[in-house]
Amino acid sequence: MVLALALTAELIGVTSLRPLDDASNPFSYTFKVQCTSCRETHPNFVTLNRHETHEQSGSRGEANFVWKCKNCKREHSANIKAPPVPYEQSEPPKRVNILEFDCRGLEFLEFKPEGEFLATGIESNTPFTGIDLSEGEWYEYDEKAGEEVSIKEVKWEIRRA
């Protein structure tokens, strides 16, 4: 099953919102995860990143995320299919799939935006780093544009791709 992490957000003065996620700064994507065999939900949030793989039992190769369900003892896995898609500013805000996962025997239920995000000033091209979206909003001042910039109404959804 392919699941997508979809983002909807109101961007004012900035665009190209994306997680800082490259080989030297891998982004840890944090999720609630559920076993699709027995519907057990992992008690804690789990993290995965697309630059790291883990061995699966048997000869099933490696995956970005491997989880053995404590309840039914089955082993499940997930892979991130491609780098995250930057979220572009639009009015009204659009819902965009920014990341896709190939999930085997598990489902992600909820995303927790922990980690650093980046964005770019629309007119000024000013790079913004260290954006924290854990509170669902972000405010900054773009010196070059002489304007306040912000990210608001941040909504994350997990849906079938």
Tell me the two tokens of residue 32: 């609630």
47 makes contact with Zn ion (CB under 5 A): no
Least gap, CB of 72 to Zn ion (angstroms): 3
- Separation CA 70–CA 38 (nearest Å): 10
Q: Using CB under 5 A, which of 71, 90, 125, 134 touches Zn ion?
A: 71
Select from 22-30, 57-65, 69-77, 83-91 the region that touches Zn ion (CB under 5 A). 69-77
Answer yes or no: are the C-beta atoms of 140 and 117 closer than 8 Å. Answer: no
Nearer to Zn ion (CB atom), residue 40 or residue 147: 40
Least gap, CB of 86 to Zn ion (angstroms): 35
* Subset of residues 110 to 139 that bind Zn ion, contact rule: CB under 5 A: none
SS3 64: coil
Least gap, CB of 40 to Zn ion (angstroms): 5
- Separation CA 158–CA 47 (nearest Å): 15
Select from 6-14, 35-43, 86-94, 113-121 the region that touches Zn ion (CB under 5 A). 35-43
Structure-derived torsion over alpha carbons of residues 137, 10, 3, 86, reported in degrees to the nearest 10: -100
Q: Using CB under 5 A, which of 72, 85, 118, 161 touches Zn ion?
A: 72
Select from 14-22, 59-67, 71-79, 92-100 the region that touches Zn ion (CB under 5 A). 71-79
Tell me the two tokens of residue 12: 């004012």
Give, as one character, the DSSP assignment of residue 95: P
88 makes contact with Zn ion (CB under 5 A): no
Find how far residue 125's CA is from the centre of its chain.
Answer: 24
Answer yes or no: are the C-beta atoms of 157 and 6 closer than 8 Å. Answer: yes
109 makes contact with Zn ion (CB under 5 A): no
Nearer to Zn ion (CB atom), residue 106 or residue 149: 106
Answer yes or no: are the C-beta atoms of 50 and 28 closer than 8 Å. Answer: no
The residues of the shown chain that bind Zn ion, judged by CB under 5 A, are 35, 37-38, 40, 69, 71-72
